Structure 1
């Protein structure tokens, strides 16, 4: 007995047809799409979807580098509760100067049209001051005339397969050692040896992977740990300097001010 198969018509397709109806010309569809997007209220724009993606941070900046749209997770990462605390600020207002300078260099490439997309694995510092691996994607934003008018970015935890890249594997061991032992007298030549690299190749690969040297990563890690202690404890600056691996109080104050823009005492006062 011959078996019959009954098929249901596609949604919105006229009965009796096997193929979807022909689409309108692309130019007309694009015009209708743009008109439809113009009707969407700004407070309901699609960036709010990022609030429902755990671990993913999203932001948009204008040509001046000022934050215009941010996800809730981005605010939480910077220990802020409402976008009114961040809107209109630049990277230099929210992260240490060396980090901000790197972000601004990326923005300049995107705004000039020299790059259509920037994607890389970076080290971000979490709310506990601990560096962690993240994957960053940045794009230029264009207005209705096609002119570049800002930048947008997404930051998310790096997937396991992304951490298998040869360049990252060569320095991942070093990152773990520094994260674990930053408070002690770390000898970077010994760290390089544990990674199976000469000091020269270690320096080069670290620079290629992150855009800064292993010495700078060690110092940023120490400063981030010091910031956390200044925020959460009443320990003296001298005690914090010792706990975070600085040789003395004056070195601590110098390195801290260079990366944060404030003295340790000034930073404590600004967050309390």
Structure 2
């Protein structure tokens, strides 16, 4: 992979890191890099050792772990905040990555007082501002 290709793939990866909670599809991310979906997947895997979908899923689970440790939100609320649309898929992927369900993870990570869920939802854009 040449440096121009690596730069373009990095731009798409940066977009994924920036917009991780948004609904992202492969076509949109590949367009960010200026490649077809299939070529982008090959280049991304070559550069980072995993597919864009795996990377984004891993990053979303990492952010969910942070929220489970620190915010007073339900698993469903966290699932939606980090960009998953199905609680079942979220819980399955979470357990694959951490070895624990989200609830088990929260129970084992109990620590200092949690951030009130209303603050997290407001910060994440979960409340309408009319």
Q: TM-score, normalised by structure 1?
A: 0.39
Tell me how far apart the structure 2 counterparts of residues 210 and 167 of structure 1 sit (CA, whole Å).
Answer: 13
Tell me how far apart the structure 2 counterparts of residues 260 and 171 of structure 1 sit (CA, whole Å).
Answer: 27
Which residue is equivalent to 1:178? 16
For residue 197 of structure 1, the aligned residue among 35, 45, 50 is 35
User: What is the deviation of 1:171?
Assistant: 0.9
User: What is the deviation of 1:174?
Assistant: 1.0
User: What is the deviation of 1:266?
Assistant: 0.8
User: What is the deviation of 1:239?
Assistant: 0.3
Which residue is equivalent to 1:206? 44
User: What is the deviation of 1:167?
Assistant: 4.5
Specify the structure having the higher radius of gyration (Cα): 1
**Tell me, which stretches of 5 or more residues in structure 2 are unaligned?**
111-130
Which residue is equivalent to 1:242? 80
The 8 Å contact of residues 192 and 199 in structure 1, kept in 2 or not, is answered as yes
Which residue is equivalent to 2:63? 225
Which residue is equivalent to 1:114? none
Find out whether 1:261 has 2:110 as its counterpart: no
Alignment of 1:1-272 (within 5 A): 165-272=3-110
More RCO (CA 8 Å, sep 6+): 2
Larger helix proportion, structure 1 or 2? Answer: 2
Q: How many residues align?
A: 109
Q: Secondary structure at the match of 1:185?
A: coil
**Tell me, which stretches of 5 or more residues in structure 1 are unaligned?**
1-163
Tell me how far apart the structure 2 counterparts of residues 262 and 167 of structure 1 sit (CA, whole Å).
Answer: 37
Tell me how far apart the structure 1 counterparts of residues 25 and 109 of structure 2 sit (CA, whole Å).
Answer: 33
User: What is the deviation of 1:182?
Assistant: 1.3
Q: Secondary structure at the match of 1:262?
A: coil
CA RMSD of aligned residues (A): 1.4
Larger strand proportion, structure 1 or 2? Answer: 1
